[in-house]
Structure 1
Amino acid sequence: MTSMPITGGALAMPKLGLGTWRMSGRDCTAAVTRALALGYRHIDTAEMYGNEEAVGAALAESGIPRDEIFLTTKVWYENLTPDGVRRAIEASLAKLRTDHVNLFLIHWPSPSMNLAAVLATMAHLKHEGLVRHIGVSNFTVALMRQAVEAIGAEIACNQVEYHVLLGQDAVLDYARAHGITVTAYCPLAQGRLGDHPALAEVAAKHGATPAQVALKYLLDQDGVAAIPKAAREETQRANLAALAITLDDEDRTALAALPKNQRFVDPAFAPDWD
């Protein structure tokens, strides 16, 4: 197993995790089981994914002590009331077959939410031991500022779409200034990395794939984790192998020069990204 780097600060979690969006049933259980056997110790799921039972089955079947696995789940934006959040975590824990998750996130902000009330409930869940850390996902800097400065919540993480084709400088700057980890979802731009010669050139230099180079670009960054979805064993292995790549300043300059304005996850209920 490749040594797994850990994020710094208050949130000590493996920098490379397994995303499970659009996985389901026995296929999901098999994928998570494979990943755990290969050495993954960071698994990401969500209420909305409909696969928490499948993830829970893999955790139970793995034989790996629970305290060795970093487990994240999320509450859907339609359930952002104090009662809704509590019902969501209780249901998630039952499906995941565990008494706690390591990180519990607001999956998407909702214009109708009472953010202070929701975060207060999440803080109570942390106090009760049902969750170890609380955080958010798809929050803009303005929403992060509201949570941290206006409400005073102890946010450990903001999970956002982040890859070599989408910049997140403002979110990263704010997060680092406040000790918040940024987790990159869709870190491989949903498979759209093969059309950029600069990326291919860096990959060829290292005997790697463009996806591996793009992943290492994120994992090298301070306070950034990444959770690529990977169902097949060869893909899971390839993502682990990205950890062994050593990018130099020339590589990072080439990757930084790629277009940074391509967002691929932008549902109708998304916040105003500006």
Structure 2
Amino acid sequence: MDLCTYHSHCDFCDGKAPAEDFVKATIEAGFHSYGISSHSPLPFETRWSLSKRNVEAYLMEIKRLREKYAGQIELYGGMEIDYLNDDWGPAVEYFQRLPLDYRIGSVHLVTEEQTGEMMDMDGKFEDFRENLRLVFHDDLKCLVKAYFKASSRMVELGGFDFVAHLDKISMNGSLMDSTLTEQEWYNRLLWDYMSLIAEKGVMVEVNTKAYTRKGMMFPNVKYFKWLKELNIPVMVNSDAHLPQLINDNRALAFEWLREVGIKSTMRLHQGAWVEVPIDNK
């Protein structure tokens, strides 16, 4: 198992501890590299994203920690950037000009095309259910289509290194309809999205954060074979919000990747993405 993770959140956004606590935890766990990736600023204030006024302080703290722990771990500063529309996402000039080591492309907020209203498809199911009623009038299929349309547009525009939790819509969506990921239309949308990712040469993370509480990884484990079939470069990230969870369920993800015949994952080394073999021992 390659000891690295590049998707994590500290108290600059919705993480539950200072960035330094995460760095110390990764060093103690024997990680060779680690990336901090706070949720990007949005054009409105939220409780879970980095405020634009704190971006400079965020970057300065990563620089301080990189210097303090030099020689103990390769530390990288990234950002999980939400795609909202063509005017706000990883490809826009503001995010491209930030001195980041890498960028993550992500969709959490989905817009209903006719009204222009936006809903958060992540978070608590109770909120999801209410937002689905208010914004998409209980039309789950319409929401899912809008999610994959936005995600595909994000990939077309580019400007980021890897896609975060590419089928995250299934987390709450499956609680609305337990058969969601078994339906042909859903699988066609996901296949088309993953095919576009492959065409554009974008990396994808296997996100292990929700496995302990919800028994889910993203992408869903049953789609690992599609990662293999489409030859999509992958990495395994814990998306940790607590220092003690920086390696949570990663070993299990590596085991399942090996089972479908995936032989390598991606890591950052001396500032560049490199492919490393999965240890089959």
TM-score category by the smaller chain?
0.3 to 0.5
TM-score when normalising by structure 2: 0.46
Which structure dedicates a bigger proportion of its chain to strand? 2
TM-score when normalising by structure 1: 0.47
